Structure 1
Amino acid sequence: MNDAKERNGKRYRPNVAAIVLSSKYPEKVEFFIASRSDVKDAWQFPQGGIDEGESPREALLRELKEEIGTDQVEIIAEYPEWVSYDFPEMIAKKMYPFDGQRQKYFLVRLKPGAKIDLDTEEPEFVQYTFVPFGKIFDYITYFKRPIYKKVLDYFRKKGYL
């Protein structure tokens, strides 16, 4: 399951992504987004690769700890399918031999008292903010927008957002 999947001759890296809601959810719906340290003005949700032998849920908690300094979250829902996207040219070279990512999305809520710390062992983000639903796409990098829209629309239709 954790092996790269091929589709149309392309290789997709297995990956998890977290749509992180603030601890104020459900009273207030605010989304965590962060700006990458390696790509200027590239805002996104936390995400990362699934290691060999790791379940998507295990990878989710490990990646959150590595990227935002906490795994203190409650999983609210999981997107029912894997979604894939191709890397833009500027990122594809860095991610060789993969042509894109195959992702499992989770909707999570920070537990009360969870502390976000971007100063991790290998910082992936330089800054973060919480935004309402209507502001997400003012920030998110262009090539992630179609997938984010699809996943967020699903969670809205299911009544989570």
Structure 2
Amino acid sequence: MARYDDLPYRTCVGIMLINPDGLVFIGRRASGPEHVDQTHVWQMPQGGVDSGEDTWAAAKRELYEETNARSVEKLGEVPEWLTYDIPRTVAGRAWKGRFRGQKQKWYALRFTGKDSEINVASPAGHKPEFIDWRWEPMKNLPELIVPFKRPVYERVVKEFTRFAGK
């Protein structure tokens, strides 16, 4: 097994889904080794980029796979990749021990559908990643995420605050 410091970052996308009232979708994670406590179990949709896949296409696919939502408009993106390291204590269990964390391309999307379109219980025929969801004020997001992802969420909120207005 490679040393933790030598492991690469997993290439991913993150999606901030913003409703017309300026609130953000957050889902309560069903499980996963990177969720190290029961307090910080909420997160925005995110997921891996397939080989050869464009990050915008990956963002739309991941959003659909995790929430069933397709009624969206692209608002913006963070210009550079954002990274986080997972704790060494869980690195061997997350992603089969192949990555030290993730590098993520973040997108802001406006949700233009009805809340009934969102289905985290059986999204797009995939295994559910969330067991619950809600709309949350953007400023609250960093406090809801596991601490090691907090700097990424703080940056995403800073970048996308301009989209929270109606």
What is aligned with 2:53?
A: 54
Residues 92 and 49 of structure 1: is their aligned pair in 2 closer, same or farther, counting only changes over 3 Å?
A: same
1:124 & 1:73 partners in 2: Cα distance?
A: 20
Does residue 155 (structure 1) correspond to residue 160 (structure 2)? The answer is: yes
What is aligned with 1:33?
A: 26
**Letter in structure 2 aligned against 1:104:** K
8 A Cα contact 1:69 1:119, kept in partner: no
Identity of aligned residues (%): 34
What is aligned with 1:97?
A: 98
Aligned with residue 14 of structure 1, among 3, 11, 14: 11
1:57 & 1:160 partners in 2: Cα distance?
A: 18
Could you list the runs of 5+ residues in structure 1 that have no partner in the other structure?
Answer: 1-7
What is aligned with 1:140?
A: 145
**Letter in structure 2 aligned against 1:86:** D
* RCO comparison, higher one (Cα < 8 Å, 6+): 2
Does residue 113 (structure 1) correspond to residue 106 (structure 2)? The answer is: no
2:27 & 2:132 partners in 1: Cα distance?
A: 6
2:138 & 2:54 partners in 1: Cα distance?
A: 29
In the TM superposition, structure 1's runs of 4+ consecutive aligned residues that sit over 6 Å from their partners are none
**Letter in structure 2 aligned against 1:15:** C
8 A Cα contact 2:141 2:153, kept in partner: no
- Aligned pair count? 148
RMSD, aligned α-carbons: 1.7
Alpha-carbon displacement from aligned partner over 1:40-96 (angstroms, at most 9, x marks no partner): 441111000000111001111111111111222111001100011111235422222
Residues 147 and 66 of structure 1: is their aligned pair in 2 closer, same or farther, counting only changes over 3 Å?
A: same
Residues 90 and 71 of structure 1: is their aligned pair in 2 closer, same or farther, counting only changes over 3 Å?
A: farther
Could you list the runs of 5+ residues in structure 2 that have no partner in the other structure?
Answer: none
Q: How does the TM-score come out when normalised to structure 1?
A: 0.84
8 A Cα contact 1:82 1:102, kept in partner: yes
